[in-house]
Amino acid sequence: MSNNKNHLHHNPPAHEDKAAAARRANAEHWATSPEVLQRILEQDKTLEVRKAVAGHPNAPAAALQLLARDRSRAVRRKVAENGHTPSAVLQKLANDPDAHVRWQVAQNPGTPTAALQQLAGDPDWGIRNEVAKNSHTLPVVLQQLAGDLDEDVREAVALRPDTPPAALQQLASDPERRVRIFVAVHRATPLEVLAVLVLDLDLEVQDYASSAFEKKIANRDYYRRWAKNPDCSPLMFESMASDPDNVVRVAIAENPNIPPEVLEVLMLDSSPAVQEAARKALQKRQATRRVLLNTQQR
């Protein structure tokens, strides 16, 4: 390919006449208008011209819709990879019989979320892998791909900066160590997931998880916020109950999901503030239990 930005392709076929060569050159020129591209396509049905128009950033929507049904898979691939292809056309190409066409659809940043969700179930792992990398893939689809049979697909999910915590939690038990390592170093991995990875059978996973865990704990604001999280695991509640920060221990005492045995430990805490928070939490639970018993007896 030439470095000249004015053309997309070069080296015309030897048998091409001057008029055909001119049409193809215009179809490949970056500045050719949509109207001219439409006219060229109507005048010239050769494969090279159809491919050039299909991949052109100025190709009109009507032309792309037509070329998406082209008999040549090479033309349909060009339509699928074109960043200006309408979403409705990409949705149809998600059903293309050619895997390379579907692969281009999965990779296209303009592909609608419905098509990406469909392609997440494609039999070709490479296509699912591209869905996992596409920035517009929905969290619910990433959650699905976190359980994919192919390790590369699961790795792609773990590597995304926006992978949802629920997917990271699922990937923390992945059979592939490198996937677990990516979870351990992920900025969004919850503390309770890191606490599990610290006990991983693989020493390298343990090291990465321990380092990440210590960094998050060192960030006291983050740790205090996490103490209020109702999704804390029993293991995290036990760990936080011995934290030297009174604010953390008060926060877990007020957490509605704190296990009863941890709450009992906090009733004997050295801090009066923690004791008081634990006492109030216990009273609230007892009051709730009495209301439920009265309701059942009526």
Domain map (residue ranges) of the chain: 1-85, 138-218, 225-298
Give mean pLDDT, residues 240-267.
Answer: 93
pLDDT in tens, 141-188: 999 999 999 999 999 999 999 999 999 999 999 999 999 999 999 999
**Residue 246: alpha-carbon gap to chain centroid:** 37
Q: How would DSSP label each residue in 137-197?
A: --HHHHHHHTT-SSHHHHHHHHH-TT--HHHHHHHTT-SSHHHHHHHHH-TT--HHHHHHH
Query: Which residue bears the tokens 């018993």?
Result: 293
- Total count of residues recorded for the chain: 298
Specify the range with the lowest mean pLDDT, choosing from 10-19, 151-160, 229-238, 283-292. Answer: 10-19
Residue 4 reports pLDDT greater than 60: no
Question: Rounded CA gap, 136 and 109, in Å?
Answer: 7
Looking at residue 37, its pLDDT comes to 96
Residues 190-248: pLDDT tens digits?
988 998 999 999 999 999 999 999 998 888 888 888 899 888 888 889 989 999 999 99
